[in-house]
Structure 1
Amino acid sequence: MDISPNKTNKRNRPPEKSIRFPVSAHNKLLKLSEKFGRNQSLLFVQMVEYFYRSSKDPLDIGEEQLRKTLSRNHDAYTSFIKSQEKVLLIPMRVEMERMIKNQEQIVSFFNDQVLKANKSLLENQQVQIKAIAESEKMIKVLYQDREIKRILQQKFLIILDTYIKNRENLGSFKTREKEELVELARKQIAAI
């Protein structure tokens, strides 16, 4: 058995066919193969695969079938979006608007209540401040009165002690001097 390099290559390669085409098409095939970096036979096989898989007609330069497919897909997506809009988006928008209005009403009500409460608190604080100031004045007056009373009591005790000592010194027989002493005590008390 003779195994030469030419015979081995022929056995490992798939069977091939040859096609005749114009030189102008061959030149275009050469340019494409250089542009894509592939050899001519691989590029040709890939072109055939592409047209076979995509079912496109090479004469249809405008890609009418692609346009139809895109249009069908576009229509399907559009109808899906419209149905979702009716089913989901519009009710969601309506609910969101209702919720926003409710939130605005709650915030407005809250602000009104807070403002009223703050105003009431300020008024109550002013009343309490006035009441505290008046109480403070009354406490000062009462303290002064108490201090005056204490001083008066001390003076009265001094006068009373003086009266008692002087009366005891006079004895029981001197009525006129006793009356003068009582009169003097009364004058001293009146002078206070």
Structure 2
Amino acid sequence: MNEKTIRFPVKTDEKIKKIAMKLGRTKLETFIQMVDYFYSSKKDPKDISDELLKNTLLRNHRDYIGFIKTQESELLIPIKRDADRMIKGLQLVANYFKEDILAQNHKTLAYQEQQKKECEENRRLMVKINQSLSTKEQLKVQFLNILKSYADARDAFGMMTSAKDKAELFQKTIANIKML
């Protein structure tokens, strides 16, 4: 291995010793690693504030911000616009539902209630008609019984029955018919 020597002040030697002790390496290893670091990072050892690093960070930061703005304009804004449009559409549907469909439901319920009342009224009328028919049949039967008893009583009369008895039978029959 070819070796070269570098001369530097004692103060710098003390600093390298402290760094080497802190890192747990020899002074030579520490020096070689420092040279490799500056060589690979292309940093200027004189630049204590690390201006190159700041510029790189700023450039990367600008790139990220540009990327985010691009994503915002190409994706987020159209998505938000579409979401707003969809929300407005849903609000229109909800309003239509509230106004028209609920109103129609109320009308339908009212019609159903009206039909229910009409069906109940029809049922009552059918019961009355049925009662009337049965009453009419009963009247016929009672009238036939009265007529039969009149015919039987008249046939029981003989030649000698007085006109008064005949008139009385007729009056009783008429009274029975009137009581129906």
Structure 2 length normalisation: TM-score? 0.77
Aligned counterparts, 1:80-159, within 5 A: 80-159=67-146
Cα distance, 1:189 vs. partner?
0.9
Q: Residues 32, 107 of structure 1: CA spacing in aligned structure 2 closer, same or farther, 3 A cutoff?
A: farther
Cα distance, 1:104 vs. partner?
1.2
Q: Residues 188, 19 of structure 1: CA spacing in aligned structure 2 closer, same or farther, 3 A cutoff?
A: same
Cα distance, 1:48 vs. partner?
2.3
Structure 1 length normalisation: TM-score? 0.73
Whole-Å separation in 1 of the counterparts to 2:169 and 2:48 = 147
Q: How many percent identity over aligned positions?
A: 38
Farther off after superposition, 88-97 or 118-127: 88-97
1:189 matched residue in structure 2: 177
Whole-Å separation in 1 of the counterparts to 2:3 and 2:144 = 147
1:72 to 54, 59, 72: 59
Whole-Å separation in 2 of the counterparts to 1:37 and 1:151 = 129
2:42 matched residue in structure 1: 55
Whole-Å separation in 2 of the counterparts to 1:128 and 1:34 = 102
Query: Match for 2:79: what amino acid?
Result: M
For CA contacts below 8 A with separation 6 or more, give which structure has more relative contact order.
Answer: 2
Aligned counterparts, 1:9-24, within 5 A: 17=4, 19-24=6-11
Q: Residues 172, 41 of structure 1: CA spacing in aligned structure 2 closer, same or farther, 3 A cutoff?
A: farther
Farther off after superposition, 172-181 or 151-160: 172-181
Cα distance, 1:178 vs. partner?
4.5
Farther off after superposition, 26-35 or 92-101: 26-35
Query: Match for 2:88: what amino acid?
Result: K
Q: Residues 175, 40 of structure 1: CA spacing in aligned structure 2 closer, same or farther, 3 A cutoff?
A: farther
* Gap runs ≥5 in structure 2: none
1:9 matched residue in structure 2: none
Farther off after superposition, 70-79 or 164-173: 164-173
Q: Residues 97, 19 of structure 1: CA spacing in aligned structure 2 closer, same or farther, 3 A cutoff?
A: same
Whole-Å separation in 2 of the counterparts to 1:30 and 1:149 = 135
Alignment root-mean-square deviation, CA: 3.0
Across the two proteins, how many residue pairs are aligned to each other? 179
1:7 matched residue in structure 2: none
Whole-Å separation in 2 of the counterparts to 1:15 and 1:128 = 114
